Amino acid sequence: RPVRLRKAAEILSLLLGHRYSHETLSALTDEVLEAAGAFRTRLLPEEMAFVYLDGLSLKVFREGEGIVRESVYVALGIAPDGERRVLGFWLLPTESALGWEGVLGEL
């Protein structure tokens, strides 16, 4: 984790022109992970008029592997009142029927 935080500090410094401490980045990372966990375990609305499912292939960095292609599975819902909601997203090595079966099982 320290190596990644150091690299993140360098990137943020270049992008934002402000240097953040390792402690600040560590605290921010913890907050983001906590929020992501809460998002993933929240109760979903009981009713959706429509559900859209799509997969997107992206290049991601994996520790020890470098840059690899992975699939982001996304589930979007439209409520009866027309409000759009992200129901969930999952990062898996490839897009497949088995992957979608797992996504639908989690929803």
Q: Is 102:93 a contact under the CB 8 Å cutoff?
A: no
Q: Are residues 35 and 82 in the same domain?
A: no
Give residue-wise pLDDT tens across range 25-50: 888 888 988 998 888 888 887 889 99
33 and 66 inside one domain? no
Greater confidence (53 vs 45) lies with: 53
**Same-domain check for residues 60 and 101:** yes
At residue 58, what is the residue type?
A: L
Other Cβ atoms less than 10 A from the Cβ of 75: the count is 21
Q: What's the rounded Cα separation, in Å, for the pair 106 and 30?
A: 24
- For residue range 5-14, what is the model confidence (pLDDT) as tens digits? 778 788 888 8
Domain boundaries, position 27? 2-41
